[in-house]
Amino acid sequence: MSKVVELEQLRKEYAQVTALEGLSLEVAQGEVLGLLGHNGAGKTTTIKLILGMIAASSGEVRVLGKSPRGHSAKTLRMQWGYLPENVSFYDQLTGQEVLEYFGRLKRVPSSERYALLERVGLAEAAQRRVKTYSKGMRQRLGLAQALLGHPRLLMLDEPTVGLDPIATRDLYQTLDELRRQGTTVILSSHVLPGIERHIDRVAILREGKLRALGTLDDLRRSASLPFQIKARGHWETGTWEPLLQQRGITDFHVNGTRLEIASAIETKLEVMRMLLADQGVEDLDVQAPSLEALYVYYNREQESGNA
Ligand code: ATP
């Protein structure tokens, strides 16, 4: 699969701060990458480097095989969309005028501009000046602006900030649609719940360094965090303790009709088979380690110096 973004040993220093250090990663065509990290981790700096808005102190950036700061910059600009972290528009313009302005720069037909306003739920507010828009409406307009011209690469910096739950759900739906169409997306966020179903891979940054990179399954495997298995039913007191201990599982809790087990990925299937084979088990629920748990794990790992 072709590479849309290639970062090689990127380093970015500001006067007082090293914002990024040794960042290498690739994003393939059609992939949705979640770029996660605390405040100041280097997410916006990474996005600005990809867009060529700032120059790297050292290392290389290639977008669609080209440098975003060379003479290809203008062509690249027509092929990507960007929603900045703090979206701001000229307040006196209406939503429609804003899209017309950006649409002309990208040579997008007016029918598409209108369709985009509808897609982000702003059709009715299209004739109103942006100064009357709520924060969420501005964010939606920013998204419409980023989607102009069917970009091959879409970069969304904290896109859910300011959005209500319905608008957040709509944003993720749009993201899923773009993913099906093969758009490459880089989504920076520290809002974790709900995001995991919409991304293919995760990059976790901390203090300018890449702490983890991979699919959720990759990260789960290397973090070895336990799966939570919960069963409900009727059984005789003392049924489970020896069976679990035989399998080397010590982290479990039995409380009358409820059994909760923390199992390593290696013993997960065996435990489930054991529970399913028991007539007394009436319900079973298995939860993989969440993205939030992985995020905490990879941040702590560095704190304790295990990097
Ligand atoms: P947030 O979630 O708060 O937006 P972030 O992960 O996007 O954070 P960056 O904005 O990339 O983080 O900042 C990374 C580091 O670089 C921070 O320490 C920040 O203070 C510093 N930094 C960013 N821009 C500049 C600048 N123009 N001049 C000096 N330091 C900067």
For a pocket test of ligand 1, which of 12, 43, 192 has the largest count of ligand atoms closer than 8 A to its C-beta?
A: 43
Cα 21 to middle of ligand 1, angstroms: 13
Q: What is the DSSP string of the chain?
A: --EEEEEEEEEEE-SS-EEEEEEEEEEETT-EEEEEESTTSSHHHHHHHHTTSS--SEEEEEETTB-TTSTTHHHHHTTEEEE-SS----TTSBHHHHHHHHHHHTT--HHHHHHHHHHTT-TTTTTSBGGG--HHHHHHHHHHHHHTT--SEEEEESTTTT--HHHHHHHHHHHHHHHHTT-EEEEEES--TTTGGG-SEEEEEETTEEEEEE-HHHHHHHHTPPEEEEEEE---TTSHHHHHHHTT---EEEETTEEEEEE-HHHHHHHHHHHHT-TTEEEEEEEPPPHHHHHHHHHHHHHTT--
Cβ(17) – ligand 1 distance below 6 Å: yes
- pLDDT tens-digit map of 226-273: 999 999 999 999 999 999 999 889 999 998 899 999 998 889 999 999
Between 14-23, 102-111, 178-187, 208-217, the lowest mean confidence (pLDDT) is in: 102-111
CATH number of 226-288: 3.30.70.260
Which atom of ligand 1 is nearest to 188's Cα?
7
pLDDT mean over 290-303: 84
Q: What pLDDT does residue 99 have?
A: 92
| Whether pLDDT at 147 is above 80 | yes
Pick the atom of ligand 1 nearest to 54's CA.
Answer: 27
The pLDDT assigned to 194 comes to 81
Where do the domains of the chain lie?
A: 3-220, 226-288
For the CA of 45, the closest atom of ligand 1 is 11
- Quick: pLDDT tens for 154-176: 999 988 887 888 888 888 888 89
Give the model's pLDDT for residue 26. Answer: 97
Please indicate whether residue 85, judged by its CB atom, sits closer than 6 Å to ligand 1: yes
Superfamily classification of domain 3-220? P-loop containing nucleotide triphosphate hydrolases (3.40.50.300)
Alpha carbon of 19 to ligand 1 centroid (Å): 6
Q: Whose CA is nearest to atom 3 of ligand 1?
A: 39
Q: Report the predicted TM-score, pTM, of the whole model to 2 decimal places.
A: 0.86
